[in-house]
Amino acid sequence: MVTVPVPLSTVRRFQMFDRTVQAMGERLHTVRAPAQMMAALAWGMEELDQAYTEAPAGVKALVACRAGCDHCCSVPVDVQAHEVFFAADHIQRHFPPTALEQLLERLTCHRHRVSRLTAGTRDHSRQPCALLDGGGACTIYAGRPEACRCHHSSNAAVCAAHEADPTVNLTKVLIPALRVRLFAVRMGLDEAIETVGFDERAYDFGSALHEALTNSLCLVAWMRRQPAFPDSCLTEPPDATAPDLPKKLKLAG
């Protein structure tokens, strides 16, 4: 007999969300320098990973994701600025000069490609992430964005089909009992960061990462509660002929 995992109760989800907001908020109120911010963000990412680790074994048994399975690594990734700076910090601490130079070349190509996409076509575009190695593994796994940490599938074949054809319905292979746990923490982190005034705009990960790695003033601006990256890095850059378009909300991953 197959046991169907019981989804996390609504009460428990709100408890996880509230706890994350409070704990992250307390850390952010003591932040005065970039190193302190990176420590706070590291705590947040560890909380996300812990939410997965503490999920029931029966829930985790449904996950089909394996090392080198990179079907989800060709789809666009929406991030907020804190995720970009966390990834950039990881890269700057761990990548040797040659590897960093090669990564910047790939990110330059990514940014140029994305900048040429017409409005409304980005979500259906496909391109392997610039941070993958030759075997399809993530080179910044410990520094990866929230969306990457929260995405799990029960069927890799459907993911492969979705990579080839964006119209394939991916939601049917997501794992609700796991997803709600991770999103309770993820939304708590984002809420805490937004509440204290940090940039909440939605950015294209590769484009914003390129800017973060080539322009040190981005981090300075962000720490001052200013927009971190130019509008060209947004998931949907505003039309110059319509400057008052509403800001697009961050996707749920």
User: Tens digits of per-residue pLDDT, 106-117?
Assistant: 999 999 999 999
pLDDT for 5: 57
Beta bridge partner(s), residue 79: 203
CA distance 34 to 147: 23
Residue 250: helix, strand or coil by DSSP?
A: coil
**Is the pTM here over 0.85, yes or no?**
yes
CA distance 244 to 209: 26
The structure tokens 């947040």 sit at 44
List pLDDT tens digits, range 72-82: 999 999 999 99
pLDDT for 2: 45
CA distance 210 to 233: 9
